[in-house]
Amino acid sequence: MQPIVSIKNLSKTYQSGHKALNNINLDIFKGEIIALLGPNGAGKTTLISTICGIVTPSSGSITVDGYDTVKQYRQTRAIIGLVPQELTLGAFDAVANTIAFSRGLHGKPADPAYIDKLLTDLSLLDKRDSMLMTLSGGMKRRVLIGKALAHRPTVLFLDEPTAGVDVELRKDMWNLVRELRDSGVTIILTTHYIEEAESIADRVGVINNGELLLVEDKSTLMNKLGSKQLTIELRESISGIPETLTKYELELSEDGTTLLYHYDTRQSRTGITSLMKDINAAGLVLKDLHTKQSSLEDIFVNLLQAES
Amino acid sequence: MNWYAIGVIYKQEMLRTWNTMLQSIASPVISTCLYFVVFGAAIGSRIETVGSVSYGSFIVPGLIMLSLLTQSISNASFGIYFPKFTGTIYEILSAPISFLEVVLGYVGAAATKSLIIGAIILATAGFFVELNIAHPFWMLAFLILTCITFSLFGFIIGIWADSFEKLQLIPLLVITPLVFLGGSFYSVDMLPPFWQKVTLFNPVLYLISGFRWSFFDVADVSVGISLAMIVLFLTLCIAIVWWMFKTGYKLRQ
């Protein structure tokens, strides 16, 4: 299958000398949702900005729908929509006007009916003539999405779409992204929330220090990310793990008061219920319990170690 | 050519003008009236004529130039600086448009606004003094060329500036003095010989002189030189803007 976005040996070094992207190679296919995961400063925004034309690549090439993003920018930018990370909006424009502005910039004639439809889909119709500065943060975020969709792009970039967005709006946004995907739009989003990638992406790429460490199907990656740790604190210390509990492969802390149990939330049985029963049967008294999910940082460390 | 993009940029910039109508239109009118009261009536009553022209009429071209220059620069510089400041410039940078289209949109709007202001001041002046325009075609040509040139100059300042302070710096420290010392309110003949020579290094002198010639058929310097100077400055501005977009200067990293 011909990729809709094809990135080859892309590197970007800023004038300051900061190397933001280091030899990125990535193919993105039509109609998929790909999430780029990475900590702050990993190079996610630089990667998106380079594809959209805001940042000039230092070396390497990018094609969108077969066109080169530097030499044939008119063709590539006409089909790209971008929702930036920051709430960058003018203050004194009306909502409908600013969306119409974005549409015109992309070389499309005015289409008030389509803009009203967009506003309806984004629950902004009652704000169509409101000044941008009077809107709440969540509304501004939706206006930015409306601006990005104003020219009916077929490739949509969402840079941290749910940063600082409340839970309800986040769900709405995920639904919107899925609907767009179903209508044939290819979506590239960046995030540093694992659950966001988990919830909507088809594929996940992990970026750190300007390098694309891996790109995998979500299900494959999530299995790697899915391990959790249950910490069991005991009222009284024990000298060794009772024989009835050996099948759980528990780890006992040096002072004998804490047991560690590793399990996978994606498995049909986590083994927690039977572990609890067996602990009870073994006569151990619990003081406290807590669980910890492997963090993104842990995964980066693992990935980096695997790299070296 | 992405005409829709030029259209929406132009429209957005003009809309900003209407939204700030009082500040955009009323303030140049009020300041012009003040100049007429102070220079035309109070001081002018003691000068009477410069050459064959009454002092009140004599200062009209200079007054219009003063407003055109400052308005063109402040409009165009603010127009492009503000999106940089708020971050909305990302949209321009990621849109399928060339530098020529961006310039046509922003500079076209700024120049239009200056032209409107110039016309309003001219009309206002008509209430105070008698105006007979000797060369209407050249008057309009000077007016339009000046609006475009200084809007381009303002656009350059807007891209160069990375703070509001810098945005004000050039208009305040360079343009205003040059306009005042460029013969807005006096003829160069009125200066001592030494200062007459110094004034010849002031580019604005040529603008005002040429513009005044189109009104009264009298000029401090030859009209040909005036026209050549403004075309030269226009070419220079176009070259700088072209270079800025080519290199992405302060716009595209």
Do A92 and B19 lie within an 8 Å CB cutoff?
yes
Chain A neighbors of B4, CB-CB under 8 A: 103-109
Pair of tokens at residue B61? 């071209």
pLDDT single digits (tens) A143-186: 999 999 999 999 999 998 877 777 887 888 888 889 899 999 99
- Mutate which of A105, A129, A158 to disrupt the B interface (most B C-beta within 10 Å)? A105
Residues 6+ apart with CB under 8 A from B161: B77, B81, B167, B169
- Run of H or E including B137: helix B136-160
Helices (H) and strands (E) in chain B, counts: 13, 2
Residue B222 reports pLDDT greater than 70 = yes
Residue A295 reports pLDDT greater than 70 = no
Please state, as a whole number, how many other Cβ atoms lie within 10 Å of the Cβ of residue A161. 27
Is residue B95 in a domain?
A: yes
Cα angle vertex B216, ends B213, B218, to 5°?
55
Is residue A273 in a domain?
A: yes
pLDDT single digits (tens) B18-54: 877 777 778 878 888 888 888 777 777 777 777 778 8
Is residue A98 in a domain?
A: yes
A67 and A216 within one domain: yes
d(CA A308, nearest CA chain B) in Å: 32
Is residue A188 in a domain?
A: yes
Is residue A305 in a domain?
A: no
Residue A301 reports pLDDT greater than 80 = no
What stretches of chain A show up as alpha helix (H) in DSSP?
44-52, 73-78, 95-105, 112-121, 137-149, 167-182, 194-200, 218-225, 272-281, 296-307
How many domains is chain B partitioned into structurally?
A: 1
Average pLDDT over every residue of A111-136: 91
pLDDT at A226: 65
Q: Which residue of B has its CA nearest to A107?
A: B4
d(CA B242, nearest CA chain A) in Å: 17
Residues of A at the B interface (Cβ-Cβ below 8 Å)?
14-15, 49, 52-56, 73-78, 80, 82, 84, 86, 88-93, 97, 100-109, 147
| Local confidence band at A272 (pLDDT 50, 70, 90 cut-offs) | confident
Q: Which residue of B has its CA nearest to A131?
A: B19
Residue A222 reports pLDDT greater than 70 = no
| Local confidence band at A305 (pLDDT 50, 70, 90 cut-offs) | low
- Mutate which of B8, B98, B101 to disrupt the A interface (most A C-beta within 10 Å)? B8
A214 and A98 within one domain: yes
Determine the structural domain holding residue A231 and report its residue range: 227-295
- Cβ(A131)–Cβ(A99) below 8 Å: no
Chain A neighbors of B88, CB-CB under 8 A: 88-90
pLDDT at A76: 93
Task: Tell me the C-alpha distance between A44 and A22, whole Å.
Answer: 12
A131 and A276 within one domain: no
Is residue B96 in a domain?
A: yes
Residues in B 31-70 with any Cβ partner in A closer than 8 A: none
Buried b (16+ CB within 10 A) or exposed e, A19-45: bbbeebebebeeeebbbbbbeeebbbb
Which residue, among A30, A105, A31, has the nearest Cα to A65 in the 3D structure?
A30
How many domains is chain A partitioned into structurally?
A: 2
For strands A19-28 and A5-13, give the pairing. Answer: antiparallel
| Local confidence band at B183 (pLDDT 50, 70, 90 cut-offs) | confident
Q: Considering only the beta carbons, identify the residue of A14, A77, A103 that sits closest to B94.
A: A77
Hey, which residues does A33 pair with through a beta bridge? Answer: A187
d(CA B193, nearest CA chain A) in Å: 51
Residue A298 reports pLDDT greater than 80 = no
A231 and A95 within one domain: no
Do A54 and B92 lie within an 8 Å CB cutoff?
no
A89 and A33 within one domain: yes
Domain boundary among A180, A205, A224: A224
Do A88 and B4 lie within an 8 Å CB cutoff?
no
Q: What share of chain B is helix, strand, coil (3-state, %, to 5)?
A: 80, 0, 20
Angle between helices B136-160 and B55-86 in degrees, nearest 10 = 30
Q: How many contacts, defined by CB atoms under 8 Å, are there between A and B?
A: 84
For strands A203-208 and A211-217, give the pairing. Answer: antiparallel
Residue A308 reports pLDDT greater than 60 = no
pLDDT single digits (tens) B43-88: 777 777 777 788 888 888 888 888 889 889 988 999 999 998 888 8
Highest mean pLDDT, choosing among A134-148, A284-298, B186-200: A134-148
- In the numeric block, the tokens 């999405």 are attached to A145
A257 and A184 within one domain: no
Which residue, among A87, A67, A7, has the nearest Cα to A43 in the 3D structure?
A7
Is residue A308 in a domain?
A: no
Residue A306: burial class (beta carbons within 10 Å; 0-12, 13-18, 19+): exposed
- Cβ(B176)–Cβ(B41) below 8 Å: no
Q: Which residue of B has its CA nearest to A102?
A: B91
A141 and A80 within one domain: yes
Angle between helices B3-19 and B99-128 in degrees, nearest 10 = 40
Please state, as a whole number, how many other Cβ atoms lie within 10 Å of the Cβ of residue B65. 27
Chain A neighbors of B15, CB-CB under 8 A: 93, 97
B130 and A CB contact within 8 Å: no
Task: Tell me the C-alpha distance between B242 and B240, whole Å.
Answer: 5
Determine the structural domain holding residue B224 and report its residue range: 3-247
Domain boundary among A165, A196, A224: A224
Q: What is the CATH number of the domain that holds A253?
A: 3.30.70
Chain B neighbors of A84, CB-CB under 8 A: 87, 90
Is residue B252 in a domain?
A: no
Q: Which residue of A has its CA nearest to B15?
A: A93
pLDDT at B6: 94
A133 and A39 within one domain: yes
The phi and psi torsions of B201 (rounded to 5 degrees) equal -85, -5
A274 and A171 within one domain: no
Angle between helices B136-160 and B99-128 in degrees, nearest 10 = 130
Do B96 and A56 lie within an 8 Å CB cutoff?
no
Q: What is the CATH number of the domain that holds A132?
A: 3.40.50.300
- Cβ(A54)–Cβ(A208) below 8 Å: no
Task: Tell me the C-alpha distance between A235 and A287, whole Å.
Answer: 5
Residue B89 reports pLDDT greater than 60 = yes
Is residue A306 in a domain?
A: no
Average pLDDT over every residue of A227-248: 87
Task: Tell me the C-alpha distance between A118 and B108, whole Å.
Answer: 31
Residue A64 reports pLDDT greater than 90 = yes
pLDDT at A99: 94
| Local confidence band at B240 (pLDDT 50, 70, 90 cut-offs) | very high
| Local confidence band at A306 (pLDDT 50, 70, 90 cut-offs) | low
pLDDT at B16: 83
Furthest-apart CA pair in chain A: how many Å?
Answer: 78
pLDDT single digits (tens) B104-138: 999 999 999 999 989 988 888 888 888 888 899 99
d(CA B167, nearest CA chain A) in Å: 19
d(CA B82, nearest CA chain A) in Å: 8
- Cβ(A188)–Cβ(A48) below 8 Å: yes
Is residue B222 in a domain?
A: yes
Is residue B253 in a domain?
A: no
A280 and A137 within one domain: no
Highest mean pLDDT, choosing among A102-106, A226-230, A240-244, B168-172: A102-106
Task: Tell me the C-alpha distance between B99 and B252, whole Å.
Answer: 12
Average pLDDT over every residue of A112-121: 92
Do A101 and B12 lie within an 8 Å CB cutoff?
yes
Do A105 and B88 lie within an 8 Å CB cutoff?
no
pLDDT single digits (tens) A12-59: 999 888 999 999 999 999 999 999 988 788 899 999 999 999 999 999
Is residue B147 in a domain?
A: yes
First to last CA, chain A: 32
Give the whole-number percent of chain A exceeding pLDDT 90: 43
Do B94 and A101 lie within an 8 Å CB cutoff?
no
Average pLDDT over every residue of B199-219: 87
Furthest-apart CA pair in chain B: how many Å?
Answer: 60
Mean pLDDT, all residues of chain A: 87
Chain A neighbors of B21, CB-CB under 8 A: none
Tell me how far the alpha carbon of residue A207 is from its chain's centroid: 11
Task: Tell me the C-alpha distance between A5 and A214, whole Å.
Answer: 17
Chain A neighbors of B83, CB-CB under 8 A: 90
| Local confidence band at B172 (pLDDT 50, 70, 90 cut-offs) | confident
A144 and A247 within one domain: no
Do A92 and B16 lie within an 8 Å CB cutoff?
yes
B90 and A CB contact within 8 Å: yes
A231 and A159 within one domain: no
Chain A neighbors of B94, CB-CB under 8 A: 52-54, 77, 80, 82
